[in-house]
Amino acid sequence: MSKLKIGFFTPYYKSNRGNATTTRRIIHGLNRAGVETYVVPYLEESWSEEKDAKLAECQLYHMVHLFRFTRWNMCRELPLTKPYILTSGGTDINHDIANADQVKEMAYLVDNASFITVFTEDAKQKLAEAYPSKVSEINIIPQSVWFEDSSDQRLLNIPKGKPTIFLPAGIRKVKDPLYVWKEIKTLKDKYKDLQFIIAGVVIEKDLFKEILSLCQKYDWVHFFENVPFGQMEQLYRQADITINTSISEGQSSALIEAMYCGSPLIVRKNEGNLSVVTHGKTGFVFEKQAEFHSLAIALLENSIQRKEIIANAHSYVLKHHSLETEISRYVSLYKQLV
């Protein structure tokens, strides 16, 4: 078989958003596996004749984010004459297919896809309910862990106080970054040197104003904006607890990265988080804000349980979220189409 050539469409590739992290990881893995890729960041770049020429050389397409691609292609009207695969993330599954009008908008794209990939069993069930005729083409391919090599190896100026609670998240309402702020503030009364760090890209400016206000008021609250992905590992390894407070998730690569780096997790209960965190084994799961306080103390005070959770989480990631396995599953689908 000749070398595979893939046209890879993603809403974001240059910015530090979840879609970009997923895409950069997959592209790295595909290139290492000998697959030639041409990346089209369709919400970051304007169209050109060069793109038309490059895509003409591709054997198939792979699109990330069903609804964003659908809306973009309403204006572009890219002919979908080649076989293509769709990869659906959290917003698609938890928000877009809950809207009947958006389900109709995406119908043509979905109906003509050769395969659709999702990260979790819950995502597969939701997508199958929206598009029952496509159930046999839906494949579960979990996310994996990978840290790209960064040309910028400078050390981040991470505050030295302990313990450190770390929240990696884009600043938007669905991530609900201040959901347990009151509980963290209460923990500060017990742990005088506690530091709270949020790192992410600013998407919704009104919400960021609230975070900026806290940073200005409290010298132990910190925001790291747009940290290069290659430097994120420094934050995970420094963190005594990594948290996720999202209202909903597809499957957060940040959680997998934290588990790999040995930072124990406390996550808000949602289907995406439950796909990687088993309460009391690979991390802690909370549903109500009040639960967070006692779980944080348990992780910080019970050294035996803490070590067990860190070890279990690391082993789980190595077994279930390896880059090699993720990429081999995508390549297997590609080969079926050419």
Residue 31, pLDDT above cutoff 90: yes
For residues 183 and 125, state if they share a domain: no
For residues 132 and 237, state if they share a domain: no
- Phi and psi at 61, nearest 5°, equal -115, 155
For residues 90 and 182, state if they share a domain: no
Among 130, 135, 97, CA closest to 115: 135
| The predicted structure's pLDDT at residue 150 | 57
End-to-end CA distance of the chain: 9
The predicted model gives 198-207 an average pLDDT of: 94
- Crossing angle for the helix pair 289-301 and 181-190, to the nearest 10 degrees: 40
For residues 235 and 277, state if they share a domain: yes
How far is 233 from 191, CA to CA, in rounded Å? 24
250 and 272 Cβ atoms separated by less than 8 Å? yes
3-state secondary structure of 176: coil
Judge whether 63 lies within some domain.
yes
105 and 71 Cβ atoms separated by less than 8 Å? yes
How far is 23 from 87, CA to CA, in rounded Å? 10
Task: For residue 48, name the pLDDT band (cuts at 50, 70, 90).
Answer: very high
For residues 115 and 176, state if they share a domain: no
User: How many CA atoms within 13 Å lie on the side-chain side of 309?
Assistant: 27
Residue 10, pLDDT above cutoff 90: yes
Judge whether 86 lies within some domain.
yes
For residues 44 and 140, state if they share a domain: yes
Sheet of 164-168: strands edge to edge? 221-225, 195-200, 164-168, 241-244, 265-268, 284-286
Judge whether 154 lies within some domain.
no
For residues 191 and 208, state if they share a domain: yes
Which residues lie across from 138 on neighbouring strands? 116
For residues 136 and 185, state if they share a domain: no
Total domains in the chain come to 2
For residues 86 and 97, state if they share a domain: yes
For residues 59 and 183, state if they share a domain: no
| The predicted structure's pLDDT at residue 85 | 98
Judge whether 158 lies within some domain.
no
3-state secondary structure of 293: helix
Judge whether 155 lies within some domain.
no
**Domain CATH code at residue 114:** 3.40.50.2000
Its pTM stands at 0.89
Judge whether 151 lies within some domain.
no
Judge whether 236 lies within some domain.
yes
The tens digit of pLDDT for each residue in 62-121 reads 999 999 999 999 988 888 999 999 999 777 887 888 899 999 999 999 999 999 999 999
Judge whether 153 lies within some domain.
no
For residues 242 and 272, state if they share a domain: yes
Q: What is the DSSP string of 123-145?
A: HHHHHHHH-GGGGGGEEE-----
For residues 330 and 295, state if they share a domain: no
Which residues lie across from 38 on neighbouring strands? 7
Locate tokens 């035996």: which residue? 304
**Helix boundaries (H) for the chain:** 18-32, 49-56, 66-76, 90-94, 100-111, 121-130, 181-190, 205-217, 232-238, 253-261, 271-274, 289-301, 303-320, 323-337
- What range defines the domain where residue 88 resides? 5-144+322-337
Among 20, 16, 109, 119, CA closest to 66: 109
The tens digit of pLDDT for each residue in 121-142 reads 999 999 999 999 999 999 999 9
